[in-house]
Amino acid sequence: MCGIVGFVGKKSFDEKGGVNGAEVVVDGLKRLEYRGYDSWGVAIPGEKKILLHKAVGKIGGFELSSAPELKGTIAIGHTRWATHGGVTEINSHPHLSADKTIAVVHNGIIENYQEMRAKLEKKGVKFRSQTDTEVIPQAIQIELKKTPDFKKAVRNVLNELEGSYAVAIVVEGGKKLIGARKGSPLVFGIGKDGYYLGSDVPAFLKYANKAIFLDDLEMVEADEKGYEIINITTGKKVEKKITKIAWSIEDAEKGGYPHFMIKEMLEQPMVLDKTAATSNVELKKAAAMIKRAKQIWVVACGTALHAGMYGSYIFALNNDINLRPVSAGEFPYFAKFVGKNDLVICVSQSGETADVMEAVKSAHDSGAKVLALVNVMGSSLMRASDYSIVTKAGPEICVLSTKAYLSQVAMFMMLSYELNNKIAAGKKQLKAIKADAEKILVKDSLAKIKKVAKGLARADNIYAIGRGVNYPTSLEACLKIKEVSYIHAEGFAGGDLKHGPIALIAPGTPVLVFVANDGPKGAPFGGAAKEIVSNAMEVKARGAEVIGISYENNQVFDRYFAVGDHGIFTGIVAIIYSQVLSYYIALEKKLDPDKPRNLAKSVTVK
């Protein structure tokens, strides 16, 4: 969940035209701050010592001019989301060996670090931090006494590690940058000025648009002359495909907006346009996998799980297909029911989520096929799946997922239409949803949402209710609120209210009510709509402030946000209201919507 960056220049920094590695790494860390922002640090190997700069807090406000000593052709850096050890400067990365000649940055968890630490301490090694990472440079230093070849010594230590890691390693006086991965993401960038390492592509997108996505147990060694990739276990050279990155640097920057969250929400109509333009060939291949499957599971975490739940309702109502949504972390308890004729649909923004990757392994162990809906080209999930469709959100930097969620539910809708051989109608429907989304995101509408958010910011509890397709919509709405504002928020199925949750309603309690016209055509408040409005009346009778998000106004609503009538697909656009509400609640509470406390963008450790 941390972010790592590395750089080695093709020219010495002292030469004309050479690039300062510290500048590249600091810039990259700022772009990766969504992966962790407890602390950060940079290391540059000099001829006589490693230059080290570490600090607690966010790197966003740091300017390299305040540390002019940070100069060099090679540099590594890290922005931390704490796992082992408290948030202190000592525990921040990079970590050094006892003799301060080796520096390491690490994303992941070393599961056998306690055993390794105890073994090293018996050899007289003194540890400075409480982190699992520090065992890596300490072990390399000891290994170098037996194996003078630095690359071989690093490989020997990596083979001893249990758990997950993505690492960047440098040595005092050395001219090489080493990167390696097992279970945590690491991308190797190729640019005109040098070579790059990053947990995500945005770390170096400003400098390079060609990349190699390292697979598990692969190690890259790079210097000014070139690079080589080897298998960590065997030591044999590995030939890798170079991928050209389609994203632009502008996609990964704020573009004049105060926060990534508002920028990314405003991009959602464009995301829907791009989703509507998804290749028919891609959709047909995915639909064929779905048609062949005996059982279908949809596996994801957090926001992506809510998208998968929404997809399960769409497939049930539109295709008579049963998708069984399961949280990726809970999937191992059901894996024994997965067979060789089954399909597991994995949904992920990053494509690096540890629990999702474990689910892929479980599925393949059972002989099932895996279809991925993933937003990152070349991600671990994409490479591990039998087939993938890249969702069309583009880079999503805000820790909270907004446009990625919309792209996921929209892709489920496209697949649903493809399964019915009505893809043209699906694209037309998505264009109508896009037009509706644009209306929500205009200035006057945003001002109205902001006004409501001001009142919600004072609430201790916020609830949301929905039925059918709007049950997962209510879950996702409340997840956004709690993530960014720290207000207790819960979503419920309308039918569950009288089974306990209605006891939580007190006078003035805000309740979002999501309504879709999913009953018979032309029947006002037909089907689930009629029932959820009855539920709204029940909470209002107990003093709730009812906020309706519906295709039609109703007297039960104290406040009303309008959406178009898109039937079972209404929730695709209705969710935008709760996203924007969450954003303005955070601003009202003077919180950073891009970097909520305790959260990181990619959960790459279990």
Give catalytic residue positions.
Answer: 2, 601
> Taking the C-alpha atoms of 170, 171, 172 and 173 in order, what is their torsion angle to the nearest 10 degrees?
-90
Rg (CA), the chain: 25
CA distance 99 to 103: 10
The alpha carbon of 542 is separated from its chain's Cα centroid by a whole number of angstroms, namely 39
* Cβ 138 vs Cβ 113: under 8 Å: no
DSSP E strand boundaries for 333-418: 343-348, 369-374, 387-390
* Cβ 585 vs Cβ 593: under 8 Å: no
CA distance 168 to 6: 6
DSSP labels for 107-131?
EEEETTHHHHHHHHHHTTPPP--S-
In sequence order, what are the beta bridge partners of 463?
A: 490, 511
* Cβ 4 vs Cβ 105: under 8 Å: yes
User: Which tokens is 395 given?
Assistant: 């880079």
User: Which tokens is 287 given?
Assistant: 């639909």
Type of residue found at 147: T
* Cβ 39 vs Cβ 57: under 8 Å: yes
Type of residue found at 282: E
Q: How many CB atoms lie within 10 A of CB 424?
A: 10
